[in-house]
Amino acid sequence: MLCPNCREDGISTSTEICPHCGVYIPSAMRDMLPIGTMLRQETYRIDGILGRGGFGITYQAFHLKLAKPVAIKEYYPQDFAIRNTRNGELKIRTTYDEAYQRSRERCIHEGRILANIHHENIVRVHDL
């Protein structure tokens, strides 16, 4: 797996301290979906973390039906939502519900636009 802090590759999933940067991996991954999480009725499997920003987390994943690696961008605005560690679901902070919904719709709209663009330097969107 990749270290969520320095992106060092090849770290065992049982490792707690990154041997490259020294970050405590469980804390760095607290808001992220666990490795092995299945999405969309067993279509995608989360294999690692590629990066995270203020509005989302990008995962290294595998499309099981097509047998190919993919990247999955999870809409996760840190200011509006927190993850339920028991079931992995996002809980929207009540005071931010309207802002979350507006921002989510913008994200989906951008995804639809990207899905219609075919260029070698732009990521292909296969699912929303």
pLDDT band, very low/low/confident/very high, at 37 (cuts 50, 70, 90): very high
Tally of CB atoms within 10 A around 51:
14
Residue-wise pLDDT for 71-87, tens only, equals 999 999 888 888 887 78
Asked if 57 and 2 touch (Cβ cutoff 8 Å), the reply is: no
Domains in the chain: boundaries? 31-115
For the whole model, what pTM was predicted? 0.77
Between the alpha carbon of residue 21 and those of residues 1, 16, 87, the distances in Å are: 14, 12, 30
Torsion sign, CA atoms 112, 117, 118, 123: negative
Residue with tokens 């990008």: 58
Asked if 79 and 56 touch (Cβ cutoff 8 Å), the reply is: no
As a CATH number, domain 31-115 is 3.30.200.20
